[in-house]
Chains A and B, each alone.
Chain A
Amino acid sequence: MTEAIQTQGLTKDYGRGRGIFDLDLTVTDGEVFGFLGPNGAGKTTTIRQLMGLIHPTRGSARIFGLDCDRDSVAVKRSVGYCPGELPQFGGWRGSEIVSYIAGLRGDVEDASIKALAERLDLDLGRKYREYSHGNKQKLALVLAFMQRPRLVILDEPTTGLDPLVQQEFYRIVRDTRAAGSTLFVSSHVLSEVEHICDRVAIVREGRLVTVSRLHELVGMRAFHVEIEFADGVPTEQLRSVQGLEQLRVDDHRASAMLRGSFEPLMSALSGRRVVGLTSREPSLEEIFLTYYAAKR
């Protein structure tokens, strides 16, 4: 297995603890690698260093053996990139933007652009300023995938996409991987990387917390659940449910954080008159707080 991405002590120090520090990471060729962290954790800073847009304070990053800072032009021949912050192209039409960037790349087939635009249901005839946020994101994805690169780096790629287009995006990721490419996907949503990634690195406050295979993250997965009972809350029964933490009871309502499977909870609720049950995925920061608090 060759290494698609390798960073050694990669650091960008913006002062006051902001940036990314001493990042050691290896992404294997052909895998889909998730880069997970809350907002402000240093994901975009890392990606910009990989793209050679910003220079490291110390350490190094290599893509397919080439130094991302020194050999950035050669590196980018093999890389497609979707930025986290979308650029502004004003009155340009989508078709003009893709043509211009395709001209800069020089290795893009029109058929590839057309296929992507069709899959993402993107009208390239419209002016960029007329695009919704979701359509701008789709255009950024077309620009990232259009040259069928060996490595695709995606910074929070599903922002603004509706659920249907998100599903199509996941299919594009799988197809791209099946064609032999490597994908490096940053996100702050755990469930998103679960859809597509083989391995996940987690960063927090500028530092790498862990690199795990996806099944190793199951213990980290959590849901915030709220249950409304017709009668009183069976508090003791709920306390005994495996993975249920931070239980709070308020009149006929109970709320808690559920880690792991829903099965023990559903068993505990059987025979009870449940009026309502809602669950939502908590933010990554909430997950971190409960996960690391539990581990300590």
Chain B
Amino acid sequence: MTLVRISLKLGRTGLVAMTALGVVTGVLNALAFVQIAGATPAERLAFAQSMEILGTQLSYMLPIPEHLDTLAGYLQWRAFGFIVLILGIWAVISSTGSGRGDEERGLVEQWLAAGTSRARYIATRVLVFSLAALFAIAATMALTYVAGKGAGEPLPVGGIAAMGVDLLVTTLVCFGIGLVVAQLMTTRRAAGFGAAGLVVALFLINGASRTSDVGPIRWLSPFYLYERSKPLTHDGALEPSAVAALVIAALVLITFAVAAFVRRDLGGTALPPTSRTSRPTTAPSRDPLLRIPVVALLRQQWLWIATWTLGITAVSAFLASIVKTIIDTLMSSSVPFMRAYFERAGLSGYDTFVGAIWLSTLMLILSAYAIVQVQGWSADDAEGRLATILSAPVSRARVILERLVALLVAVGIICAAAGIVVYRVATSQSIELDASKLALATGLVVAIPFAFGAIGQLLAVWRPRIALVLLSMIAVVSYFLLQFTPLFEWPEWVANLSLYSLYGMPMSGEVNWSGIAGLIGVGVVGTIGALVAVQRRDVGA
């Protein structure tokens, strides 16, 4: 029972965050549908047509839509079509934490030394995550049902329950994937990235299978199996073979991981040991970059920065490549809703769409990058690196400022690479982009991670344990405020509460200099706050 209690405690942040995200996604999408889909059958039909066109273009990310004139169909497509990936990522974070992270921290050794068997330890962690996932999904489904009923569009009880079952078994498969990968890697970081990369790849395989023939490989994707059932639009019916395959996959993966954990050495992997490649030395590294302020931080993270740069440029290239097709389809459709929406947003030419689609995505991704950096800064303190750095003649202010400058340089590199790729892809698609405008808009995006990084510094110094959660909440709330204010016709000041609204839409109009100044102001205030707070706090206490 103690192990169960401790396991629950270790996973409570993820559970709370995932439950909140699931509930917000389900409830807000339910309320948004009622708001935007219209009331008459004709309005609903027009809405469904426009969304289906959009859905076809987004088929790499969301399921092929059906019955979009109903709340059930809309939620199945828009909410539950994507949240399954979020649940999968949560499962991977949790499983690599249980399967490797706690081992790195020495907790597993303590438990095993206390007489807990390996099988019992890992089985308890699986059980606790299963209960947590059940809770998060049940809360999401229940509150989404309540929201639908409250909005006058009751969802089928059987359908929503079956949807929950489908989500749960898919989440458990992702947990199993993470647990297996954790047995093959020596660090949580490597296991987390490896497993998350695998889950995203399986998600993309399913995405590709929606529009083209990818062969039998699609059966390897749990997301493909997940989508075989459409319980919300098919009277709560689950596809038995697909659900059975998911259950079997989860059982096989978890059993394999448990067996590997029981047999392998603590701190080792289930793979055969490899011989050491490094040569013994007593000399310090000759790399001069490690001794230059700021550059040393970038040098330590070069692989990390390169990975983000590659990922973001790939996403940017993809977005730029589909802009023309999406816009041609939507603008030529007979549905006036979308055209009016775009006109209101000031979107007229391809270039402005590139700005709207790409830059809004870039803002979100760069916020995530800044948040991950903040998590690293909090860890520097918790893991004693900050105390080691401060035992050199280095001021606390220098640490804060160096971190921020390194963040901005890294973000600058990412933005420059992504901007160049977007320009080249767009021009290859015969989209005429104003290079100087694009460069300016891309450069100004840096203000977003600057603001997040500065607030994050303040939080990492002031309350390091909640920095990650609070900053993620700011990002999520900012995103939702921007998305839902026009839908619910909230006053403009509500949208202005979003940090992202300060950036504006520089590709489709004038640069919102006051907003940019506001973002920089947030960054400066956060930095000053962090500089003051870091002087006052005890390090390593």
Contacts and interface: CB of A to CB of B under 8 A. Distances in A.
A209 B255 CA distance: 59
A53 to B, nearest CB: 4
B282 A85 contact: no
A90 B284 contact: no
Q: Label chain B's interface by main secondary structure.
A: loop
B391 A123 contact: no
A72 B399 CA distance: 14
B187 interface: yes
Interface in A82-122: 83, 85-93, 95-96, 98-106, 110, 113-114, 117-118, 122
A81 B293 CA distance: 21
A114 B536 CA distance: 37
A92 B387 CA distance: 17
Nearest to A81: B391
A118 to B, nearest CB: 5
A122 B283 CA distance: 10
B430 to A, nearest CB: 46
B279 A125 contact: yes
24 contacts: A51-B391, A55-B538, A72-B395, A83-B384, A85-B540, A87-B385, A88-B383, A91-B187, A95-B283, A99-B286, A100-B290, A100-B291, A103-B296, A104-B394, A110-B283, A110-B284, A114-B282, A114-B284, A117-B283, A124-B284, A125-B278, A129-B186, A129-B187, A143-B391
Contacts of B280: 123, 125-126
Contacts of A157: none
Contacts of A114: 282-284
* Across the A-B interface, the 3 shortest Cβ-Cβ residue pairs: A103-B291, A87-B384, A117-B282
A86 B300 CA distance: 20
B391 A83 contact: yes
Nearest to B539: A53
B392 interface: yes
Interface of B: 186-187, 189, 276, 278-287, 290-293, 296, 300, 383-385, 387-395, 536, 538-541
Contact of A101 (B293, B383, B388): B388
A113 B284 contact: yes
Contacts of B541: 48, 53-54
B388 A143 contact: yes
B388 A83 contact: yes
Contacts of A104: 389, 392-394
Given A117-B282, A126-B278, A54 B388 contact: no
Given A102-B291, A124-B281, A125-B279, A90 B391 contact: no
Interface string A58-85: 0000000000000011101101010101
Contact of A73 (B300, B395, B538, B540): B395
Contact of A87 (B186, B387, B392, B536): B387
A100 B296 contact: yes
A91 B187 CA distance: 9
Contacts of A73: 393-395
A52 interface: yes
Given A52-B390, A87-B385, 20 more contacts: A48-B539, A53-B390, A73-B395, A76-B391, A76-B393, A83-B384, A95-B283, A95-B284, A96-B287, A99-B285, A99-B287, A100-B290, A103-B290, A104-B389, A113-B282, A113-B283, A113-B284, A125-B280, A125-B281, A143-B391
Interface string A132-161: 000000000001000000000000000000
B285 A95 contact: yes
A53 B393 contact: no
B539 A96 contact: no
A90 B105 CA distance: 11
Contacts of B539: 48, 53-54
Contact of B282 (A48, A118, A127, A129): A118
Given A73-B393, A89-B385, A100-B291, A123 B281 contact: yes
A102 B284 contact: yes
A92 to B, nearest CB: 8
Contact of A124 (B276, B282, B392): B282
Contacts of A83: 384, 387-388, 391, 540
A285 B539 CA distance: 29
Contacts of A129: 186-187
Given A48-B540, A99-B290, A122 B282 contact: yes
A245 to B, nearest CB: 36
B273 to A, nearest CB: 12
Contacts of A125: 278-281
Contacts of B383: 87-88
A53 B540 contact: yes
A155 to B, nearest CB: 11
A72 B396 CA distance: 10
Nearest to A98: B284
Contacts of B384: 83, 85-88
A73 B396 CA distance: 9
Contacts of B395: 72-73
Given A53-B538, A100-B296, A103-B291, A88 B385 contact: yes
Contacts of A123: 280-282
Nearest to B379: A88
Nearest to B281: A125
A55 B539 CA distance: 9
